Structure 1
């Protein structure tokens, strides 16, 4: 088993969502590399999760990436924005982790220019971080991470001082999974979506020193 497949399978999806926090996500774009540290992620548990795209075993060309090998990129659009999800668990077990927030560390000025914003507004949301990368289509859908321009560094990064857990944001109101505690984020990091200024760790951004 590859390191990528090993990282994205063999343990519960909520654990995988927490494990990506602090890992570095890099996009080798046409204007040079951009990227940063993942600070927020949501777990989606497949057919039994009423908020998941594969709820009830739903399968279509649009969500086929979720059924692929662990570590497969799943890009979908919502409200005119593109979002980045990673297929986890073994093939044909359609669970995923949505990357919701990123603290920029590479190509920060370029990311700010892409967004026309500065500070947390660069990438404190799933659509925002994709726009900051300059990704505005589904060309990378169903590609494996680390096999192309979108790279997740499994080694290194930062360690959260504390991981906070809440219900997911903006999910379907159907079924019994709407309020499931499957959103995880680096407590105190300003690049977490909907983070209040009063809760921001100004010194360490929520990372272990």
Structure 2
């Protein structure tokens, strides 16, 4: 991911949109797995009441958010692991949650890890990590591209249309809970919670 400096330029919400369509991969012990990013959420740091670094909160667990752009930040909620990437210069704790991918690489490996198939394989942040077989935080503080995790920004599909909504699962997190900081590829079947009638079966929402 380090081949392009865009990661340290632009606001976190802008970068969240740029990530849509990029290829996310993980070199797992069983082999390479990955897919196109179809859904992200931006977390805007100290000002954001739904963010882990709200009001400057800094702990050993959220330290990766304070790292340089492209830092891996894995955390767990209710026993599920989620994948974030730090999006701003070092010391500015803003991050992007990668919520869902359209799987393209190592699908058999991911199906074995999750014992699921179809859209249920990777249509949510916990499902994605389970499909990858990641169940720890050992890669925290590593940089995408220098890690077993990578975001291939020059290997990208183009969304025909990007939709925005409020973020998921933060409804009780204060004044920022309703801000439209969730971004997804309109019509892609792997977007979490998409209604069947909204799925574009022909193009999956790609241009």
**Equivalent residue for 1:174?**
173
Q: Is contact 1:24-1:157 (8 Å) kept?
A: yes
SS in 2 for 1:8: helix
Q: Are 1:61 and 2:22 matched, yes or no? A: no
Alignment of 1:178-197 (within 5 A): 178-197=177-196
Cα separation, 1, equivalents of 2:171 and 2:44: 14
Find the counterpart in structure 2 of residue 27 from structure 1: 26
Q: 1:206 to 1:55 in 2, by over 3 A?
A: same
Query: Equivalent residue of 1:109, what SS?
Result: helix
Distance in 2 between residues matched to 1:95 and 1:6, nearest whole Å: 17
Deviation per residue, 1:150-201 (Å, 9 max, x gap): 0110102200000000000001523310100000000000000001111000
Scaled by the length of structure 2, what TM-score is found? 0.97
Kindly indicate whether residue 17 of structure 2 is the aligned counterpart of residue 18 of structure 1.
Answer: yes
Distance in 2 (CA, whole Å) between partners of 1:197 and 1:111 is: 23
- Displacement of 1:142: 1.0
The aligned counterpart of 1:111 is: 110
Q: Which residue of 2 aligns with 1:88?
A: 87
Give the secondary structure class of the aligned counterpart of 1:203. Answer: coil
The RMSD of aligned alpha carbons is: 1.2
Q: CA deviation at 1:5?
A: 7.2
1:205 aligns with 204
Q: TM-score, normalised by structure 1?
A: 0.96
Q: Deviations over 1:88-138 (max 9, x none)?
A: 111000000000000000011111111111101000000000000000100
Moved more, 113-122 or 167-176: 167-176
Distance in structure 1 (CA, Å) of the matches to 2:167 and 2:28: 30
Unaligned runs of 5+ in 2: none
| Alpha-carbon distance in 2 for matches of 1:199, 1:175 | 30
How far, CA to CA, are the matches of 1:3 and 1:62 in structure 2?
24
| DSSP-derived class of the 1:86 partner | strand
Aligned residues: 207
**Is 1:41–1:97's contact at 8 Å kept on the other side of the alignment?**
yes
Contact 1:4/1:70, CA 8 A, preserved across alignment:
no
